[in-house]
Chains A and B, each alone.
Chain A
Amino acid sequence: MEKVDCIIVGGGLAGLSAAYGLASEGLEVMVVERGDYSGAKNVTGGRLYLSPIRDIYPELWESAPFERPVTRELVTLMGDGASTTIELASDRFATAPHQSYTVLRARLDQWLADQVMEKGGMVITKNRVDEILMEGDKVIGIRAGGDDIGADVTIIAEGVLGLLSSKVGLREQPTARDHALGYKEILELPSSVIQDRWHLNEGEGAAHLFMGEVTKGMMGGGFLYTNKDSISLGIVVGMEAMRERTEKVESHTLLDAFKELPHIRPLVEGGTLVEYSAHAIPEGGIAKVPKLFGDGYLMVGDAAGLALNALLTVRGMDFAIASGFYAARAVADAKNRGDCSAAGLAQYEQSLRSSFVLKDLETAKEIPHIMENPRLFTHYPQAVSGLLEKLYTIGPHPSQKLSSTVIGGVRKDFMNARTLKELLAMRKI
């Protein structure tokens, strides 16, 4: 059996980040990617939070093909026929170094693959790994296209579905309760139109999230990110939430309905639809993170459930890149010591625990439970928008005193035992 120092299953951000680290250390690394190129199979919202990972691979980001730094943050709570938008224009977000950038994966992942190859790493595309090879509990390599290739360490970066790793018992199969479906359209718009429409200075970008009616009250939300000369418009919806809804909704129709809303139509007006894509998202939080390492292997990125949907912030790419970085360090050290057993690789989990990756997932451990509460996506968006709508309404009848409208609305929708209990629960976030 042919053998290399390290094989990486999957050339997405997690796998490529690990490969870059290993190739930089002069190790023999081989990434196997099933797409025609890295990124060909990958989908994100998306924006990459660069702040948490800027200092790992500091030399890299200067040349990265980012779309726009996000300087404007918007969130819309959508009730039935009325919605409330909150906008944050922060001077800090508008000043370099920017904390986050919008990205397109086909561009970003291909660029990272190029950087890996420049460092001497191998990225073999158009090849599906068919099997992870085991010898007892030890991972010894892979089978792809009928060939067996051995490795001292195999890094599993196959993404959210974990098809190969669950087959050999390294993790569980994904369940509907812990996963969401994300899908989106890319609509091309001239860069000047994007800047006018979202009130942006040249080169700056906006991120806009939507909650409530957009998913017909199901767990999830809508998103809109401005790229250089396109926008990414999409929906995330919990798989279990789709099945639990009494009146079933065909998922693809949600996005069409979203685009048709009177306050969304002018935003997408004139946009040329160029691509439609879909992908699963891990949302089980830290409770669903599998064993991260064992004899001869490490798990990184979505394959290890390292993603975090905290409603206003959605993160997975920064976790993927950071876990790849720490995996590379652990493998390089293990190789130096000549011990690629579980004990030799244990440093990987320790470094994730002392970094933001497992710390942030730990901090957010209650979020999956809180998000399971459907009232977050039905009652609250409606209550906020309903109250504001009342305040802004001048009808044919004499108006109520402002204070009694507010107090009445707050009492009805927020000062009841159930809501208070929910708000108390939210303190845990």
Chain B
Amino acid sequence: MNIEAKLGLDVFKIDKERHITIDVEVCNRVCTDKACLYVCPAHLYEIDDQGNNTVNFEGCLECGTCLISCDHQALDWHYPRGEYGVQYRMG
């Protein structure tokens, strides 16, 4: 089963307000490693057609790995507001 299908099994309550914002300018200017692209267990980071880093925050598992692994403070990351985000039924 691919990762999108796996995420499809989880319960998400999606907020209009995004809880992860990328400072793309920092990614482009200083980051060579781009750890977020491979550390994220939900595989949500992707470089778009314009060469800019993007994150599909709607499938976020809220583990914080991207935040901890980014050495360049390029992420504005906080938990989704109460009532939103992933809701594990098993955990």
Contact = CB atoms under 8 A, between A and B. Distances in A.
Q: Do A and B bind each other?
A: yes
Interface of A: 34-37, 39-44, 104-107, 109, 125-128, 144-145, 160-161, 163, 174-176, 179, 181, 183, 185-186, 230, 239, 242-243, 248-252, 273-280
Given A41-B62, A251-B41, A252-B3, A273 B9 contact: yes
Contact of A126 (B38, B40, B79, B83): B83
A250 B85 CA distance: 23
Q: For the complex, would chain B's binding face be called helix, strand, loop or mixed by DSSP majority?
A: loop
Interface string B56-83: 0000011111011100000000111111
Given A176-B68, A252-B3, A181 B87 contact: no
Q: How large is the interface on B (under 10, 10 to 19, 20 to 34, 35 or more residues)?
A: 35 or more
B84 to A, nearest CB: 9
A248 to B, nearest CB: 5
A163 B64 CA distance: 10
Given A274-B9, A279-B63, 9 more contacts: A42-B88, A128-B79, A183-B61, A239-B65, A251-B41, A252-B43, A277-B10, A277-B61, A278-B61
Contacts of A126: 82-83
Contact of B81 (A106, A128, A186, A250): A128
B39 A181 contact: yes
B33 interface: yes
Given A106-B89, A163-B78, A243 B69 contact: yes
A183 B68 contact: no
A121 to B, nearest CB: 19
B91 interface: yes
Interface string B14-51: 00000000000000000001010111111100000000
Nearest to B34: A248
* B1, B7, B90 interface centre (most CB from chain A within 10 Å): B90
Nearest to B60: A278
Interface of B: 1, 3, 6-7, 9-10, 13, 33, 35, 37-43, 61-65, 67-69, 78-83, 85-91
A275 B41 contact: no
Given A105-B91, A128-B79, A273-B9, A41 B3 contact: no
A239 B39 contact: yes
12 contacts: A34-B80, A40-B91, A104-B90, A104-B91, A174-B64, A176-B68, A179-B68, A185-B6, A230-B90, A239-B65, A243-B69, A252-B40
Contacts of B85: 41
